[in-house]
Structure 1
Amino acid sequence: MSRLDTQIETQRLLLRVQRAEDFEYFAELQQDEEACRFIGGTAPRAAAWRKFLQMPGAWAVQGFGMFAVIEKSSGQWVGNIGPWHPEGWPGTEVGWALRRAAWGKGYAFEAAVASIDWAFDTLGWTEVIHSIDLDNVGSQELAKRLGSRNRGRGQLPAPFEDVVIDIWAQSREEWRARKR
């Protein structure tokens, strides 16, 4: 089985590689100023399409990427959550971005737990980080809930080198001990 066929089911969600039919929801996310405030800002539709192709490309080239998160009850794409490690990134990240319609439902936590398990168990990662803007209180709270700790300032590669972030992280051993 190819990694491109990877699927993880949680109680309410299906995590899988992004597909073309997910684009309309992705484009909606990319045009929402509040939802994109801490992930590089909004993008017009043509730029959103190019950005959309990053995740399937990461899966094809690296064997992993953020999962498309699908709400099982509706079949709708609600966001991207999962492993991410582009060139120059400060570590092996499990990140997240959700459409505003999915906020406050616990989906980010549910999908992040499944993604972290998968990154440690399948990819063999020894640490997971979350690169979080200093003003992104919601993501800081999620990182805490996941058991990550703020390890201080981090540096993103160009063209994001001016974004001030903290690195939240935990080791595989910390994750497994916490889950016991």
Structure 2
Amino acid sequence: MIPVLHTEHLTMRAPRWDDFEAYAAFRGSDRAKLLGGPFTRAQAFNQLAEIIGHWTLRGYGRWMVADHKTDEPLGIVGLYYPEDWPEPEIAWSVFENAEGRGVAYEAALAARDYAYNTLGWTTAISLIEPANERSVALGRRMGCTDGETYQHETLGLMHIWRHPSPEDLA
């Protein structure tokens, strides 16, 4: 049910059990602070299961991003719309081994293309915690504009970065 996407350097695929150690390490680290963490291994397991379940409930979701040559897990990127979100989002989180390699950018572009050209979305946002400088820079690089905010009940104030529409990208 989860489609596989291929980019120049990446494979975007369904999460698997052998991805769990990398995922749990990320969710348990200080890198997850801006996402509400760090989290326990049990919480990370539930979160990974949620990623898979999102596909069933919404018909889209986030992919495990892996190196296309080695299949090493590099992060989670894709389409996200939980019940307490203002709009569907293009979301990204990369693991430490992928930082600074352009992985989030390449995968987020593929996810946006899928949202617009396969699902027919006409708009998309990315919710970014203002202190997350790398995500702010990625939002800018993707052509997003900042100007709206959203107050999440547990994550606090987040900025809404609006992606260019399909027409603006054409």
Tell me, in whole angstroms, the C-alpha distance in 2 between the residues paired with 1:124 and 1:151: 24
1:110 matches 2:103: no
1:146 matches 2:142: yes
Query: How much has 1:171 moved relative to structure 2?
Result: 4.1
Tell me, in whole angstroms, the C-alpha distance in 2 between the residues paired with 1:15 and 1:59: 14
Q: Please give the TM-score of this superposition, normalised by the length of structure 1.
A: 0.89
1:47 matches 2:40: no
Q: Please give the TM-score of this superposition, normalised by the length of structure 2.
A: 0.94
Tell me, in whole angstroms, the C-alpha distance in 2 between the residues paired with 1:175 and 1:73: 33
Q: Give the match for residue 11 of structure 1.
A: 8
Instruction: For residues 53-93 of structure 1, give each alpha carbon's deviation from its aligned partner in whole angstroms, at most 9, with x where no partner exists.
Output: 01110112211111110112321111100100011211110
What residue ranges of structure 1 are gaps of 5+ in the alignment? none
Count of equivalent residues: 170
Tell me, in whole angstroms, the C-alpha distance in 2 between the residues paired with 1:175 and 1:114: 17
Q: Give the match for residue 26 of structure 2.
A: 29
CA RMSD in angstroms comes to 1.3
Tell me, in whole angstroms, the C-alpha distance in 2 between the residues paired with 1:140 and 1:58: 25
Q: Secondary structure, in 3 states, of the residue corresponding to 2:163? A: strand
Q: Choose which of 110, 118, 126 in structure 2 pairs with 1:130.
A: 126
Q: State the one-letter code of the partner of 1:165.
A: M
What residue ranges of structure 2 are gaps of 5+ in the alignment? none
Tell me, in whole angstroms, the C-alpha distance in 2 between the residues paired with 1:139 and 1:18: 22
Query: How much has 1:172 moved relative to structure 2?
Result: 2.4
Closer, same or farther: CA 174–21 of 1 in aligned 2, 3 Å: same
Q: Secondary structure, in 3 states, of the residue corresponding to 1:78? A: strand
Q: Secondary structure, in 3 states, of the residue corresponding to 1:101? A: helix
**Contact 1:90–1:155 (CA under 8 A) maintained in structure 2:** no
Tell me, in whole angstroms, the C-alpha distance in 1 between the residues paired with 2:26 and 2:42: 13
